[in-house]
Amino acid sequence: MIRKIVLALGLTLLGGCAHVGVKPWQRDILARNAMALDSDGNIGGYHDHIYFSKEGATGGRSASGGGCGCN
Amino acid sequence: MQLNQPDAPPLRKLGRVAAGLSMLSANLLGASAALAQNDSDGEPQIALMKEPAPGPETFVYDASVLFYKESGSRVQAIEPVFTIQNYQADGSIISGSFTFDSLTGATPNGATPSTLDQTFNSIVREKTTSTQVTSTGASGGGTVTTIPGTAYAKSTYSVPANTLPLASFHDHRFAGTGGYSWLTNPDTRLNAGLGASVERDYTSFTGNFGIARDLNQKNTTLSLAINLEEDISRPYNGTPAPFEDLNSQIGGGHDTRTTYGVLAGVSQTLTRFWITQINLNLSGSKGYQSDPYRVLSVVDPTSGGPLNYLFENRPRNRTRESAYWGNKLALGPTVADVSVRYYHDTWGINSLTTEVSEQVPLGGSVYIKPLYRHYHQSAANFFAYYLVSSSALPAFASSDSRLSRFSADTIGGKIGVRVFKTGEFYIEGESYRQTGARTVAGAPGQLSGLDLFSGVHATSVMTGLRLRM
């Protein structure tokens, strides 16, 4: 089920990709570090580690595994 | 990926590497002094939230420490992390990280509370003397006695009546990662990485490889990544057999687990102010997945009192899948981060996670970032608070609260301050609280009146310094 939903969303998104977005000279705001999808640095790693060690679910943001015996 | 502009002008470099390294060591104490230095240097300073993503020929250092504490005298941890990224002139990126964990405290051993005192025996691997066993056993903290004629020792500890049984422990963990990312053409980036994590009783090796392709004038990025993880579990008490009695268990060697994962993602620039990302993550793991220190109480069907304790047993296979949708939105001078994740696995756990934060500038040199996260999961289909002696043993069972039905809320906030012209001092505080069912309908005897939920309430502080040179 989840795969079908994501596939549908992905195809819809890709289909519209050619018509959305910005020109290279319009990237002033998007080029800021604060707008990066992974701008949290070490803090993001701490969050992943805490949640991985205390919850049953994991993954989603990146492909890397947990790598510790805490779960 | 399209936000990294290889042709963007590099930030002004600090003159001396030695000066930069000494700044790293100043981390916490030097923040306010460094802020004062900014004003005395006549060159313009980039506003913290307008700082561009790192360009070529730039080093980014991030040195931080986590202080983590669970209420009820449970786990405490201190975790320093140091990461470095080197953005090279040809667009390649070399990265590395080093982590050290120090954990102490106590964690639930899996047994239910009782209206009477409880005593637990656990077998710990003998080193050369029983004294050393006391300091290494995950169930340590009690009385340790050697078992004549064997290579093992026995640790005995007592838990007062009406108290959740906890086993004290302390451990250290060293972990390191290394990665390399490079452009094969202006629109295609490959990346590869390796990692290792070593504890006294657990070792993990990871490797990953990925490709990202920019399309539509870099407004769209398709990515595909695979990862492999090999875990080796070497419990102090040896790997217990499924449902083995706590008091009879001696030895059992080590066991392993192999995990394969694949992540397919697309990120899309929608407007000048909005970038969105969707990831689909699929992973499968085979091998030892149980907690070698965790037991279940076998209780009397009438009184609910514990009769004995059996080691848990989880399936050796698990397939996980998740869909993640993340967004970054520039709303005026602020930046919002909004994400949702749906997760499902073959153990029967379904979860939904929502997270939102808002980064708000306070002038050019300071920002604040309140955050909220809500998590909910259903229980694994083999989760049980206890086993009843009159019933047949199930195929699998675990009383681990991480496999139970619960919700968790995180409330926190971060403050970032510009220091050293191109650096940022940050500190974040968080409260993380799990809530779940504390009683079980139809629980026998004394268990109907006892709090069985072993979820945590944790507070954490993370602070560090991020520098570009």
pLDDT at A14 over 70: no
Specify the pLDDT at position B389: 95
Residue of B nearest to A32 (CA): B52
Specify the pLDDT at position A15: 63
pLDDT at B275 over 80: yes
Contacts of A69 in chain B (CB under 8 A): 199, 201-202, 204, 231, 233
Contacts of B267 in chain A (CB under 8 A): 37
Q: How far apart are CA B5 and CA B56, in angstroms?
A: 8
Contacts of A18 in chain B (CB under 8 A): 216
Task: Say yes or no: B312 contacts chain A, CB-CB below 8 A.
Answer: no
Global model pTM greater than 0.95: no
Specify the pLDDT at position A5: 66
Domain ranges of chain B: 17-117+160-425+435-468
Rounded average pLDDT over B8-23: 39
Q: How far apart are CA B230 and CA B251, in angstroms?
A: 22
For A68: left if phi > 0, alpha if psi spans -120 to 50, otherwise beta; the answer is beta
Specify the pLDDT at position B399: 96
CA-nearest of B86, B69, B88 to B78 is B69
User: pLDDT tens for residues B327-339?
Assistant: 999 999 999 999 9
Specify the pLDDT at position B249: 65
Residue B176: CB partners within 8 Å, gap ≥ 6? B96, B97, B98, B99, B195, B196
CB contact under 8 A, A59 and B434: no
**Residue to substitute from A11, A19, A32, A51, interface B, most B β-carbons within 10 A:** A32
Residue of A nearest to B82 (CA): A42
Specify the pLDDT at position A66: 60
pLDDT at B358 over 50: yes
**If contacts are CB pairs under 8 Å, which of residues 133-172 in chain B contact chain A?**
none
pLDDT at B154 over 90: no
Residue of A nearest to B408 (CA): A55
What is the CATH architecture assignment of B17-117+160-425+435-468? Beta Barrel (2.40)
CB contact under 8 A, B219 and A45: no
Specify the pLDDT at position B73: 86
Q: What angle do CA A53, B259, B250 make, to 5 degrees?
A: 70
Across chain B, mean pLDDT equals 86
B377 compared with B37, residue with greater pLDDT: B377
Rounded average pLDDT over A9-30: 76
User: pLDDT tens for residues B380-431?
Assistant: 999 999 999 999 999 999 999 999 999 999 999 999 999 988 899 999 999 9
CA-nearest of B397, B417, B29, B64 to B244 is B397
User: pLDDT tens for residues B110-129?
Assistant: 999 999 999 988 766 554 44
**If contacts are CB pairs under 8 Å, which of residues 42-71 in chain A contact chain B?**
42-43, 45-46, 49-51, 54-69, 71
pLDDT at B18 over 70: no
Q: What angle do CA B4, B5, B10 make, to 5 degrees?
A: 105
HSE-CB of B352 using CA atoms within 13 angstroms: 1
Specify the pLDDT at position A63: 61
CB contact under 8 A, A2 and B344: yes
Rounded average pLDDT over A38-53: 91
Distance of CA A23 to the CA centre of its chain: 23
For B72: left if phi > 0, alpha if psi spans -120 to 50, otherwise beta; the answer is left
**If contacts are CB pairs under 8 Å, which of residues 22-41 in chain A contact chain B?**
22-24, 26-37, 41
pLDDT at B145 over 60: yes
Contact between B199 and B211 under an 8 Å Cβ cutoff? The reply is no
Task: Say yes or no: B49 contacts chain A, CB-CB below 8 A.
Answer: yes
Say how many Å lie between the first and final Cα of chain B, rounded.
Answer: 21
Contacts of B426 in chain A (CB under 8 A): 43
- CB count, 10 Å around CB of A6? 22
CA distances (Å), B286 to each of B114, B231, B307, B319, in order? 35, 10, 33, 9
The pair of structure tokens assigned to A6 is 């994501």
Q: Among A53-67, B78-92, B173-187, B209-223, which is the least confidently predicted range?
A: A53-67
- CB count, 10 Å around CB of A23? 9
Contact between B319 and B281 under an 8 Å Cβ cutoff? The reply is no
Rounded average pLDDT over B357-376: 96
ipTM attached to this prediction: 0.85
pLDDT at A19 over 90: no
pLDDT band at residue B199 under the 50/70/90 scheme: very high
Give the A:B interface size as CB pairs under 8 Å: 228
Contacts of A37 in chain B (CB under 8 A): 3, 267, 275, 277, 326, 328
**If contacts are CB pairs under 8 Å, which of residues 54-113 in chain B contact chain A?**
54, 62, 64, 66, 68, 79, 81, 83, 97, 99, 101
Specify the pLDDT at position B183: 96
HSE-CB of B301 using CA atoms within 13 angstroms: 5
pLDDT at B227 over 80: yes
B147 compared with B287, residue with greater pLDDT: B287
Rounded average pLDDT over B442-447: 90
pLDDT at B15 over 50: no
**Chain B: nearest CA to A58, how far in angstroms?**
8
Residue of B nearest to A15 (CA): B220
